[in-house]
Amino acid sequence: MDLLWLWILLAVLVVLIFLVVSMYNRLVRLRNEVKNAWAQIDVQLKRRYDLIPNLIETVKGYMKHERETLEAVTKARAAAQSMTNAGAESRAKAEGELSSALTRLLAVSEAYPDLKANQNFLALQEELTSTENKISFSRQFYNDSVLRYNNKTQVFPSNIIASMFGFKYGEYFEVKVATEREAPKVSFS
């Protein structure tokens, strides 16, 4: 009789260990996914920093009357670049401002037919549009990953494992700048 109880106890223990290990592994996998998604955003943001000087150089000659717009982009780029080691929230803010400055620049460029005939500019425009897309798609994927990870760390029973091994919540990368949400207003007067 005692032996039977011992066996049952052992079986329960094995099942428990198996559950804990699989939950732990799942949490680790999700956390890695979040980290990887964050790295993806980073790659695209760096790509954008690299593209901007090129763009300004190409555009400068054509847009003599848009000094302010150009300067805003340069300034926003410098500000964003200095935030690379800051947390997700403050970084998102700086990058959001850079995005809106760039959108304004691209919108203004519509008014310059010479510029729009420039092959170099067209190639840059495609690259920049795509990079903007990649940034927002990688942010989308990052936020989805964070949601999945946070759900796992908060729901029962995996929340027990999460608190036991110190899994922290992920931080969303949200755009808090109002200007990025609305379309830029441009007047061609």
Q: In the set 23, 27, 34, 37, which binds another protein (CB under 8 A)?
A: 37
Task: Looking at residues 124 to 143 of the shown chain, list those that interact with another protein (rule: CB under 8 A).
Answer: 126-127, 129-130, 133-134, 137-138, 140-141, 143
Q: Does 103 bind another protein (CB under 8 A)?
A: no
Tell which one of 84, 144, 157, 168 touches another protein (CB under 8 A): 144
Q: What are phi and psi for residue 120, nearest 5 degrees?
A: -60, -45
CA nearest neighbour of 82 among 100, 96, 94: 94
By the 8 A CB rule, do 103 and 78 touch?
A: no
Which lies closer to another protein via its Cβ, residue 64 or residue 113? 113
Please enumerate in sequence order all residues whose Cβ is within 8 A of that of 47, keeping only pairs 6 or more positions apart, or say none: 131, 134
Cβ-contact 95, 173 below 8 angstroms: no
32 binds another protein (CB under 8 A): no
154 is written with which tokens? 């908060």
Footprint of another protein (CB under 8 A): 29, 33, 37, 40, 44, 123, 126-127, 129-130, 133-134, 137-138, 140-141, 143-145, 147-148, 151, 183
